[in-house]
Chain A
Amino acid sequence: MIIQVRELSKHFKVPVRKEGRFAAVRNLFSFERTSKVAVDGITFAIEKGEMVGYVGPNGAGKSTTIKMLTGILVPTSGEVEVDGLIPHRDRKRLAYRIGVVFGQKTQLWWDVPVIESLRLLKEIYKIPMSTYETNLELFNDMLDLHEFQDTPVRQLSLGQRMRSDLVAVLLHSPDILFLDEPTIGVDVVAKDRFRSFLQQLNEERQVTVLLTTHDLSDIEKVCERMMIIDEGRIIYDGAIADMKERIMPYRVLVVDFADNVPHIEIDQAELIERKNRRIRLRFDRRQISASALITELVARYPVRDISIEEPEIETIVREIYEHSAVVERLED
């Protein structure tokens, strides 16, 4: 296990905000603090070479987790081990083995050409010349760095900046890559490129990746495993394919008719929409297979065309969030 987390928690002290009359003035003189739980006893392990998506709504504790894994934050309690090191204690040693991208901020020096930043990083990480050159050449091929390496960072497009940032954190050949919202604001083409780059990198170098993003399609395309965190607790951890099965065993059958839609009555499917000559039927795959349903439909009605809708990962995740809220209400 390259990353091992046991019962990890992080509490923050935050000032108590007063409300009511003269709240602003009373806040100024108040030193009252309260403890806020950002991460609440999470446990997970990641194997070398795994690519894991880490999702959750804003303020769920994603960034706090990443900050504890990279040594930026000291945990309140619990254990964390990354590549055999305790991050906040061996921060500098760990830094040589990990790469961290914070999508909101660039690592690069704003006013100088990209290549100057890379040269400086070579010094900071004491990268041998041969490694530096090999890596630069490889990333050049994969990300077309040469197109903008002599442009100051402030003049780069967001996509180019993301590519530069990736190169910057990969120059020292880290074993683990932490990506916190790397594709924020980046267009579709650049996103595609980013995804295939990650896959190639993972195949060639067995780099372990932990990726947080708002764009679930990033995760669906890149990762096989996904962890969902909500209110500081991990509420799902498993294969993405499994999740679809377990949370969303439903499929939707879209049926077009040649003529006016007849009255439909099928036991194992539910009619959810009827519009012109098209209907949508939801069915549970555990109760009836798609082929059985189609056979039945075709036998009984004048069907012209049929297609199946897979559930969107977005829908699934929304379902999970709502589900956890329901569970909590029951627990209270």
Chain B
Amino acid sequence: MIESLRESLHLYFKFIGIAIRSRLEYRSDFLVGTVGIIILNAVNLSLTWVMVSRFHVLAGWQFWEIVMLYGMWLLSHSIYAVFFWHLSTLEDDILHGRFDQYLVRPCSVLLQFLGREVNYMGVGDVFFATAAFSLAYRNLGLDWAAGQWIFFVVAVLSGTVIETCIAWIIGSLSFWIGRSRSVFWLSMRLKMLNQNYPIDVFGQGFRIFVTGFLPIAFMNYYPLTQLLGKPNALGIAALGFLSPVVAGILLALGSLVWRKGLAGYTSSGS
């Protein structure tokens, strides 16, 4: 078990190595993409700033708290964006029969798929997220203890797992419905709302939806209310600690859907 895990990781890094070299073949694309994504984020956040500077406080959240919400989401998202973004293009691999190639090699199909690509756009996200988070941390005059930093890191990683698994599950739907891009874009739009605003500004229905159905509020909102000592919109304090649990549940669900889908693929051949 440990041995095979070690082997898988070794192979994964080899795959990623090739993926990085493939990307660097197109250097200017890499640079434009990275700079572009930083500008995109800056514009996005400044829109929030315009709004908050009007009202000073948005549903009990100050401007720098919102920046931190945004930064925390983007940190999780950036890891997802660099390594797992192509889960959203799973449908292409399925429809074009690229899985045939994966299936005739003595190595996990998932590993081959995940190792196929890295996405430079996420690199810009990493820079921007780090900057936004640091600025917010300074401006809010925070001074976290080691325990809080550990909580923060676990929450960010859980956020990555949550976003990755959502994309994984939606992507795997393509095994049945052929294309799932529309479902994917829908979830993207919802995620963006969650990235820019604390869910307090939305109605109860939306809050419940992003907690229980598409649990993206666990990527940034709930752990951050815990870290900042704020009450959360649903008034259930325990939610602040649940991000790793939600990540675990989604991981199990994702692997179930994936296995079912792959088994279906080998019986239908898409």
Residue of A nearest to B20 (CB): A112
Q: Which residues of B contact A110 (CB under 8 A)?
A: 22
A95 interface residue per 8 A CB criterion: yes
Contact with A along B99-114 (1 / 0, CB 8 A): 1110111110000000
Once the chains bind, are B22 and A71 in contact (CB under 8 Å)?
no
Once the chains bind, are B98 and A105 in contact (CB under 8 Å)?
yes
Assess A95 versus B104: contact at CB under 8 Å? Given A73-B266, A74-B267, A105-B98.
yes
Query: How far is it, in angstroms, between the C-alpha of A259 and the C-alpha of B25 when the chains are bound?
Result: 71
Q: Which residues of A contact B25 (CB under 8 A)?
A: 111-112, 152
Name the contact of A105 in the complex, choosing from B101, B107, B266, B269 (C-beta under 8 A).
Answer: B101
Query: How far is it, in angstroms, between the C-alpha of A105 and the C-alpha of B266 when the chains are bound?
Result: 19
A301 interface residue per 8 A CB criterion: no
B268 interface residue per 8 A CB criterion: yes
Query: How far is it, in angstroms, between the C-alpha of A12 and the C-alpha of B270 when the chains are bound?
Result: 9
Q: Which residues of A contact B97 (CB under 8 A)?
A: 105
Once the chains bind, are A120 and B269 in contact (CB under 8 Å)?
no
Once the chains bind, are B106 and A124 in contact (CB under 8 Å)?
yes
Q: Which residues of B contact A102 (CB under 8 A)?
A: 100-101
- For the complex formed, measure the closest distance between the CB of A324 and the CB atoms of chain B, giving whole angstroms: 25
B56 interface residue per 8 A CB criterion: no
List CB contacts (< 8 Å) of B213-270 with chain A: 266-269
Q: Which residues of B contact A73 (CB under 8 A)?
A: 266-267, 269
Q: Which residues of B contact A13 (CB under 8 A)?
A: 268
B131 interface residue per 8 A CB criterion: no
Query: How far is it, in angstroms, between the C-alpha of A110 and the C-alpha of B117 when the chains are bound?
Result: 11
Residue of A nearest to B108 (CB): A92
Once the chains bind, are B105 and A95 in contact (CB under 8 Å)?
yes
Once the chains bind, are A112 and B22 in contact (CB under 8 Å)?
yes
Size category, A interface = 20 to 34
Query: How far is it, in angstroms, between the C-alpha of A204 and the C-alpha of B268 when the chains are bound?
Result: 38
Query: How far is it, in angstroms, between the C-alpha of A114 and the C-alpha of B2 when the chains are bound?
Result: 32
- For the complex formed, measure the closest distance between the CB of A67 and the CB atoms of chain B, giving whole angstroms: 6
Q: Which residues of B contact A109 (CB under 8 A)?
A: 18, 22
Q: Which residues of A contact B100 (CB under 8 A)?
A: 67, 72, 102, 105
Query: How far is it, in angstroms, between the C-alpha of A109 and the C-alpha of B269 when the chains are bound?
Result: 23
Once the chains bind, are B266 and A96 in contact (CB under 8 Å)?
no
Residue of A nearest to B98 (CB): A105
- For the complex formed, measure the closest distance between the CB of A268 and the CB atoms of chain B, giving whole angstroms: 52
Query: How far is it, in angstroms, between the C-alpha of A70 and the C-alpha of B106 when the chains are bound?
Result: 12
Query: How far is it, in angstroms, between the C-alpha of A110 and the C-alpha of B25 when the chains are bound?
Result: 11
- For the complex formed, measure the closest distance between the CB of B236 and the CB atoms of chain A, giving whole angstroms: 40
Query: Which of B15, B26, B98 has the largest count of A CB atoms less than 10 A from its CB?
Result: B15
List CB contacts (< 8 Å) of B1-52 with chain A: 10-11, 14-15, 18, 21-23, 25-26
A203 interface residue per 8 A CB criterion: no
A93 interface residue per 8 A CB criterion: yes
- For the complex formed, measure the closest distance between the CB of A11 and the CB atoms of chain B, giving whole angstroms: 10
A205 interface residue per 8 A CB criterion: no
Once the chains bind, are A74 and B266 in contact (CB under 8 Å)?
yes
Q: Which residues of A contact B269 (CB under 8 A)?
A: 12, 64, 67, 72-73
Once the chains bind, are A120 and B105 in contact (CB under 8 Å)?
no
Name the contact of B104 in the complex, choosing from A12, A72, A112 (C-beta under 8 A).
Answer: A72
- For the complex formed, measure the closest distance between the CB of A34 and the CB atoms of chain B, giving whole angstroms: 13
A100 interface residue per 8 A CB criterion: yes
Name the contact of A124 in the complex, choosing from B11, B98, B103, B266 (C-beta under 8 A).
Answer: B11
Once the chains bind, are A124 and B21 in contact (CB under 8 Å)?
no
Assess A98 versus B104: contact at CB under 8 Å? Given A74-B267, A105-B98.
yes
- For the complex formed, measure the closest distance between the CB of B116 and the CB atoms of chain A, giving whole angstroms: 9
Query: How far is it, in angstroms, between the C-alpha of A67 and the C-alpha of B101 when the chains are bound?
Result: 11
A116 interface residue per 8 A CB criterion: yes
Assess A100 versus B104: contact at CB under 8 Å? Given A12-B269, A74-B266, A120-B15.
yes
A107 interface residue per 8 A CB criterion: yes
Contact with A along B66-100 (1 / 0, CB 8 A): 00000000000000000000000000000011111
Q: Which residues of B contact A125 (CB under 8 A)?
A: 105-106
Q: Which residues of A contact B106 (CB under 8 A)?
A: 92-93, 95-96, 124-125
Name B's A-contacting residues (CB within 8 A). Answer: 10-11, 14-15, 18, 21-23, 25-26, 96-101, 103-107, 266-269
A-B contact pairs, 16 of them (CB 8 A): A70-B103, A70-B104, A71-B103, A72-B266, A74-B267, A102-B101, A105-B98, A111-B21, A111-B23, A111-B25, A116-B18, A120-B15, A123-B10, A124-B11, A124-B107, A152-B25
New A-B pairs, 12, CB < 8 Å, besides A12-B268, A72-B100: A70-B104, A71-B103, A73-B266, A91-B104, A92-B106, A100-B104, A102-B101, A109-B22, A111-B25, A123-B11, A125-B105, A125-B106
